[in-house]
A and B are shown apart, each in its own frame.
Chain A
Amino acid sequence: MIGAETLVRTLLACGVDTTFANPGTSEMHFCAALDRAPGMRSILGLFEGVVSGAADGYARMKGKPAATLFHCGPGLANALANFHNAKKSETPIVNIVGDQATYHAPLDPPLASDVEGFARPVSQWVKRVMHTETLGDDASEAVQASYRPPGGIATLILPSDVSWNEGGTVGQPRPIPKRAKVDARAIREAAAVLKTGEPALLFLGGAALTLGLNDAHRIAAKTGVRLMAPTFNARIARGQGRYPIPSMPYPVDEAVKLTAGIRHVILAGTGEAVAFFAYPNKPSVVTPKDAAVHVLAKPESDAVDALARLADELDCPPAPTLNRPPPPEPARGAMNVEGAAQTVGALLREDAIVVDEAITLRGPFFAGTRNAAPHDWLQVPGGSIGDGLPLATGAAVAAPDRRVVAIQADGSAMYTIQSLWTQAREKLDVTNIILSNRKYAVLLHELKAVGAVAGKTALDLFEIDRPELGFIAMANGMGVEAARADTLEQFADLFRHANARRGPFLIELPLG
């Protein structure tokens, strides 16, 4: 069996049955092998950043890795920004990078590059396969490595001759590494802290934000500890029937004010609350300097189990009954961001997946959907923009029975707007809401926050209204139906329509 077929069959044997790809010449044998070894859903992205972001969105919802397929170092380099986000989201991905043949690379052909050098900063495992005979085993190791807690990118570099040579043997699936249970001492320490009654913050991340919320609320109800999530998270379970969790405000001053007086910070599945950026005369860690930090569970440990054990250690009764107000009514009148957010909160379908790359408009949408139907909320923990539409694309592949709603700022939408084409081609149920304020609004905020003074030239770099971006025409040009909502009534009608139909749809909201 040739290497390429060995690889596809090994991936399938290891449970990896979806590939997001943007292939080139060195991956031709892999592509051909997809027809010889059926069972792999292969999805084309028209830019590598679409592919890497979609693989991230897929694994966040599916709980298992997809494969990505790229062409040489430059192809991988195009994928890196969204791989950075995937790394920060602790997402397992099996990343296959085709490269020059082993004997050709030393001659330094045009596409020869330091693939390992591109891969290492975002990968938790990198291996160049040198022999077809070991490819099956290496691929199986790559799948296992992607699962290694907390989960990450495993990059397998595949020279083209390894791919086309005979001699491959299908690799056997390896055990999936489990997250380690935390030591009993960590549980006892956290319990002791909480029993003091001193003001404390339980800072939750990772799986604790989906599976650990119930136990976190048991603990909070018993001890009065405050609960909070980082500003941006890979996935939070929200809405009716779920225990609410506030997230740390992005502006440092707000975060500092909100956590003032906290004496203890207990970390469960995440690190300390570090500000997105440094600002002159502002702290880097937003919780009080003199607060003691206690690690209940590191990101790679089993925080969900730790919370359950901590709740038991504290003899917490079952979680208090949820008493949420019903979802809001759709808003009416002139277009405005709070009204649009309220309308999303009113009309979001049960079990929807919301992808949030709203940037400066995140706050109103997060608040407006608090009491919406139960949903999952996906963000961009790595902060590298241009991930919203790819994440939505991948999430829709992973969850074909759920509606995906992308709440997408206009400037960052333009990084990976090609995602719409993949959504149309794969007939994915995604409602893309483009928040058109025609500017890099976040930079105007940051300008003020860092204390810089901008003139006309600088301000011109933050405006994206000349010429006007035609999102409707761009969507139509990629096979996606689209419309603009000038009033909240129109938005409600379009949002209902988009969510009820099959396939992707784009709604542009003028919020300038």
Chain B
Amino acid sequence: MTVSVAILDDFQDVTRTLANWDLLGPRASVTVFNRHFEGEELVRRIAPFDVLVLTRERTPLRRDLIARLPNLKLVVTAGMRNLGIDLAACRERGILVCGTESGSSPTAELAWALILSLARRVVDEDRALREGRWQTTVGFGLKDKVLGIVGLGKLGSQMAKIAQAFGMKTIAWSKNLTTERAASQGCTRVEKLELFREADLVTIHLLSTERTKGIIGRPEFAAMKPTAIFINTARAAIVDQDALLDALMTRKIAGAGLDVYDREPLPADAPILKAPNTVLTPHLGYVTRESYNVYFPQALEDIEAWLDGKPTRLIAEQ
């Protein structure tokens, strides 16, 4: 029997070269989709397949979608955590879900790319230079500035370490963060609004869950300094997107570096594209050669193992 495998959302068309899919031989036929699908088109495109390979949460697999995929037997996702997959619905249907390792955590590095770009106006100056203008802005340095870290987990702690190397003061908040845990990372634990009031830069590193949905909203943006910068490389749902847009349009805050959006890919007419003082990247947080070199070879291994009847790296419900 030949199983059909679909690799979704390969925007950069790289999965063919990152893993040797020929190893599956006649046991599987592989189709790669380079474009993102939604709604009925998504159902129509992926319904025939036995195996879906997902890159993180680019295409969520909700219960209602799973119900319309009659052939689906195996889901392979990049990383070992994918909040877009309804694991219970998969279990009820007998669909196995396997993951991969994540390699390094390049998201913190991207957050710094956004911070430095905004602080020194790299994108603006690049654009101006190409238009024939020399020195059009005056940026700011990071030394002695305050970085407010919302969520001091693995990524938040990496942010703290790098900030300290820049000579920044680091403060942090999350619901369960203790003073001791913060101190162990060289951070001062503060209350949420205090963080937004004091920080020159705020960066979000929370998981997107029901508990963190919209946890950053109008009161937080209202508390921020008009010179402060907001960075979100975590998930859009954590932040009230309308409030963020208003804060930028009304210049209540000095700018934002964003990698995540409430709709991805971001539609061409999305209002955030018109917001001033923003540096926007297309959800590149985990997108590095190093990450991909872990994701896709391991995705291939997952499929081979499943075909051999020895599924590996199974993701269990939390």
Contacts and interface: CB of A to CB of B under 8 A. Distances in A.
B246 A501 contact: yes
Given A493-B276, A497-B271, A497-B274, A483 B250 contact: yes
Interface in B219-245: 222, 242, 245
A483 B251 CA distance: 7
A501 B251 CA distance: 16
Interface string B244-279: 011001110000000000000000000100101000
Contacts of A494: 249-250
A482 B246 CA distance: 9
A213 to B, nearest CB: 34
Secondary structure call for the B interface:
helix
A481 interface: yes
Nearest to A482: B250
A494 B250 CA distance: 8
A295 to B, nearest CB: 52
Contacts of A481: 246, 249-250
A220 to B, nearest CB: 41
Given A483-B249, A483-B250, A501 B242 contact: yes
Contacts of A483: 249-251
Interface in A474-512: 476, 481-483, 493-494, 496-497, 500-502
Contacts of A496: 271, 274
Interface in A341-377: none
Interface size bracket, B side: 10 to 19
Nearest to B248: A497
A493 B249 contact: yes
Nearest to B246: A481
Contact of B249 (A472, A476, A497, A502): A497
A229 B246 CA distance: 39
Q: Residue among A476, A481, A501 with the most chain B CB within 10 A?
A: A481
A500 B271 contact: yes
B250 A501 contact: no
Q: Residue among B242, B249, B276 with the most chain A CB within 10 A?
A: B249
Contacts of A502: 242
A481 B271 CA distance: 16
Interface residues of A, number: 12
Nearest to A502: B242
A88 B222 CA distance: 42
Contacts of A482: 250
Given A482-B250, A483-B250, A501 B245 contact: yes
A493 B249 CA distance: 8
Contacts of A493: 249, 274, 276
Nearest to B243: A481
A339 B251 CA distance: 22
Contacts of B222: 476
Nearest to A472: B250
B1 to A, nearest CB: 52
A247 B272 CA distance: 40
Interface string A442-484: 0000000000000000000000000000001000100001110
A483 to B, nearest CB: 4
B240 to A, nearest CB: 12
A493 B276 CA distance: 9
A497 B270 CA distance: 11
A483 B245 CA distance: 12
Interface string B107-140: 0000000000000000000000000000000000
B49 to A, nearest CB: 38
B30 to A, nearest CB: 42
Contacts of B251: 483
Contacts of A501: 242, 245-246, 271
Contacts of B271: 496-497, 500-501
Interface of B: 222, 242, 245-246, 249-251, 271, 274, 276
A-B pairs, top 7 by smallest CB distance, nearest first, are: A483-B250, A481-B246, A497-B249, A500-B271, A481-B250, A493-B274, A494-B249
Given A481-B249, A483-B249, A494-B249, 20 more contacts: A472-B250, A476-B222, A481-B246, A481-B250, A482-B250, A483-B250, A483-B251, A493-B274, A493-B276, A496-B271, A496-B274, A497-B245, A497-B249, A497-B271, A497-B274, A500-B271, A501-B242, A501-B245, A501-B246, A502-B242
6 contacts: A481-B246, A482-B250, A493-B276, A494-B250, A500-B271, A502-B242
